[in-house]
Amino acid sequence: MLSPAPVQPELKRALPLLAPALATACLMLACLTWLAPDVATAWEWRRSMLPDGQWWRLWSCHLVHFSIHHALTDGAVLLLAGALSERLIGIRALALRLALAAPLISAGLLIAAPDMQVYRGASGLDTMLFVTAGIALWRENRSPKIVLLALAALVLKCVAEARGWSAGVGGLPGGVSLAWQAHALGALCGALPAWPRARAARPAGVKQP
């Protein structure tokens, strides 16, 4: 169900729409939060959201952030990786993946981060989009080695974050911990649907032009 439909030639020429819209939404919500903090509070992920019936938080938490700097970095990756994914797999497939991955990541955090009470940030979806785009590029045989290196760098980044080695290069304010579990779940959401199709579709022995 999550396998992308074959990309139509006319989609490749179209400018991406969904990714820029989501990135803009993140930035605008961050600016709004700076003026009215209650906005983000109403949309953030909370451990008690399911018992309280606040299901919208499963999706909305990925759009709100702790600071404008936080929204800027996540929005930039959303724009770059999302636009690339949109052009490679199409807007419908991308929308479906985002709609399914968002609640999966949010639900996964309930188990993977048992002590966490609050979560905000689009980086789970960012990681999903990065992996999706990387696998799609590799599938199309476009610089496969470098794409694999980029994916490996992302995995190393996740491992370093899990070990607590990442510091000082993000936009999280003091007192907020990096939720590396969201990145791991996002990577899983990006890899699992594409992997069987990637292995089946990759032509053997075809070298990059």
Partner 1 sequence: MRHVTFVIALLVAVATTVSGCASWGNPHGARQAGSIVDYLYPDAKEAPRLEPTVTRLRPPVKVGIAFVPGGGWGTGPSEVEKQKLLERVKASFSRHQYIGEIQVIPTQYMRARGGFANLEQVARMFDVEVVALLSYDQVRFNDNNALSVLYWTIIGAYVIQGDRYDVQTMLDASVFDVKSHKLLFRAPGTSQVKGSATLAGFSEKARAAEQEGYNKAVDQLIPQLQTELDAFRERLKNDSNIKVENKAGYSGGGDMGWTGVALAALLAALAWASRKRAGAA
- Comparing CB distances to partner 1, the nearer of 22 and 126 is 126
Binding to partner 1 in span 10-29, by CB under 8 A:
none
Tokens read off for 177: 């911990």
Chain-centre distance for alpha carbon 158: 13
Position 4 contacts partner 1 (CB under 8 A):
no
> Can you tell me the distance from the alpha carbon of 37 to that of 150, in angstroms, rounded to the nearest whole number?
36
Buried b (16+ CB within 10 A) or exposed e, 171-202: bbeeebebbbbbbbbbbbbbbebbeeebeeee
- With CB under 8 A as the contact rule, the residue among 7, 96, 148, 178 that binds partner 1 is 178
- Selected range binding partner 1 among 3-11, 26-34, 94-102, 133-141, rule: CB under 8 A: 133-141
Binding to partner 1 in span 141-170, by CB under 8 A:
142-143, 146-147, 150, 153-154, 157, 163-166, 169-170
CA atoms within 13 A on the CB side of 181: 17
State whether residue 45 is helix, strand or coil. Answer: strand
**Contact residues for partner 1, defined by CB under 8 A:** 62, 65-66, 70, 73-74, 76-77, 80-81, 83-84, 87-88, 109, 113, 115-124, 126-127, 130, 133-134, 137, 142-143, 146-147, 150, 153-154, 157, 163-166, 169-172, 174-179, 181-183, 208-209
